[in-house]
Every structure is written in structure tokens, then in C-alpha cells.
Amino acid sequence: MKLTKYEHACFTLEAAGEVLVVDPGSFTDDFVVTDNIAAIVVTHEHADHFNPDKLAAIYAKNPNAVFVSLPAIVDKLPGHKSHAVRPGDKVDIGPFRLRFFGGKHALIHVSLPLIDNLGVLINDTVYYPGDSFTLPNTPVDVLALPVGAPWLKLSETMDFLTAIKPLLVFPTHDAVLSDIGKALPDNLLPAIAEKVGAEYKRIDGLSITV
């Protein structure tokens, strides 16, 4: 598969000429809509992950794309092909096999209600936890690792990486960080990755094969 990383939490996977888009939200300005998008996965309802305008641009070129998300989010996009999913569900769309984990968004503050959140494992290879540190309890080759958010501490990111033990890990969810802010995880996480046999690699704006 070809993995392409866009700003903030958005990335795509391409297999057999079809594309899966994950979390094309409002903080992602560099995403380019192609005409071969088979499905869109949205992990939760926050605007930096779920942006109706970006979804409308995708559907303008891909009217048959399947929208996959939590039931309450799917209900917000009537008239499109969709799969409402919950943690524990499995869905096959074209060349993509999706498994869902989690349940709740990580706590931001006790004054704010917890919302539902999905982690997704794609083709038993690439895992993204959404806004959480939910463990999939299954082997993961490639981990999309959140490194910048009001709900995380870098120590939690380190512990999560240590628990997953992927082969490759790339930072994501970091549009809220300055260049100096991004340098902090980039300096600290490679050593943690090396300890568990992983490679830490920033791939912003790049495509790699996984």
C-alpha cells in the first residue's frame, strides 16, 4: 500500500488503484481530492477530524465513496453510502479491511464531556487510535502516533509507542505544534522507538510504501 501523510490527522492509503482517506478535518489544508477514493473513515466528531466541506469536495469527485464512522456522525451525512461502526466491528470496502477499536475520546478536562472515538486498523498493518491511546491488542506494523493535542502528555505518547511495538511509527495530530514543538517529539521519540525495534520517521507531505 502507498501511505501519504497530510497535515494534522489526515492520511491516505492506496491499494489496487483505490484510496482510503482517514480524518480529512479542518486543520488539513494540503489534502488533494482524487477521483479514485473508495472510502472515508472519520474517527470522531471534532472539527479537526470531521469537516463536512472537505467531505463534500470528496463526494463531488467520488459520489460512490463509502463513509465509515460512528452512528451519530453517519447520520449527519444522509444520502451517501455509509457504514455505521462501533468498536469491535469489521468492514471490508474494496481492497481495504477495517477493524475498529476504542470507545471514548481521551479526557481533555473533567469539565468537558467525553465523546465517542474510534481507533482503526487498516489491512492488519496500519493503526491509528484517533484521539485516544486505545491499544488494539494485536500486532501492528505501522503506527500513526498522536504527538500534539490538549488531551495528551508526551509521556503518554511514549508509553503508547512502547506498548504497541510497531515496526514503523510516524507522528500525526500535530498541526497545533510550531516547528519547535514538532522538534520535541522528533528528538525524544526515536530513542523510545529504537528500544522496541521500531523506526520513527516524520513523513509530512510524503508518500511511502507500507
Relative to beta strand 96-104, strand 199-200 is unpaired
Residue with grid cell 465517542, as numbered in its chain: 116
pLDDT given for residue 158 in this prediction: 98
Residue 128 sits at φ, ψ, to 5 deg, of -130, 125
Position 112, amino acid: L
End-to-end CA distance of the chain: 5
In this prediction, the residues of the chain whose per-residue pLDDT falls under 70 are none
Largest CA distance in the chain: 48
Alpha-carbon torsion 129, 132, 137, 139, what sign? positive
Read off the DSSP letter of residue 7. Answer: S
Judged by DSSP in three states, 74 sits in helix
C-beta neighbour count of 123 within 10 angstroms: 17
pLDDT given for residue 76 in this prediction: 93
Q: Which residue ranges make up each domain of the chain?
A: 2-209
What CATH code would you report for 2-209?
3.60.15.10
Q: Is the pTM of this model over 0.95?
A: yes
C-beta neighbour count of 182 within 10 angstroms: 17
CA nearest neighbour of 71 among 56, 87, 58, 55: 87
pLDDT given for residue 184 in this prediction: 97
pLDDT given for residue 159 in this prediction: 98
pLDDT given for residue 163 in this prediction: 98
Instruction: Give CA–CA dist 66/1, Å, rounded.
Output: 19
CA nearest neighbour of 9 among 180, 188, 152, 197: 152
